[in-house]
Amino acid sequence: GKGAIVMLYGPALNGQLRVRHHIEGGTKCELFMTRVLLLGCNPWISPLPNFGVKDKVGEDIAAIPTILRRIMNDWNDPSDSLNRLTAFTLLTRLRKRLLMHFNHEHDGSIDLIITGCEVSLWAGEQFASDLHNAFPQLRMTA
């Protein structure tokens, strides 16, 4: 197949996830790989919860205040907040795309792709809808 292999999966690791840059039309993945978020051994990714818990829903509900406090504290700490960095980067990129529309320099491509699975996809679709209401000239898909 075409594209650079970025991950093997499946019981025998015989499945391959490949990346191909459609803009360049090539198979180089260096630029893509600099943006990949590694899930294993990442201090910023919380480990999966204990699946032996009898009341999973109750445990999730009980964890909400702690999680919300951690999120609020992260936004309040400007020194190493990944939320602030992500928001700044999104704002910078969207501003650049909006200026392209305003200056009639836009190439017609999609400005923002939002992905997710199950509930997070629903949240992403709602975000895309809200963002489109605020900036109708942006082309986005979820």
Confidence (pLDDT) at 134: 93
> Rounded to two decimals, what is the model's pTM?
0.56
- Per-residue pLDDT reduced to its tens digit, 71-116: 888 888 777 788 888 899 999 999 999 999 999 999 988 898 888 8
Q: Is the pLDDT of residue 123 over 80?
A: yes
Q: What is the residue extent of each domain of the chain?
A: 1-39, 53-94
Token pair of 44 as six digits:
């910023």
Strands (DSSP E) contained in the chain are 4-9, 15-19, 112-113, 140-141
Q: How far apart are CA 122 and CA 36, in angstroms?
A: 23
Confidence (pLDDT) at 101: 93
Share the mean pLDDT of the chain: 81
Confidence (pLDDT) at 105: 93
Q: Who has greater pLDDT, 82 or 39?
A: 82
Burial of 97 (0-12, 13-18, 19+ CB in 10 A): buried
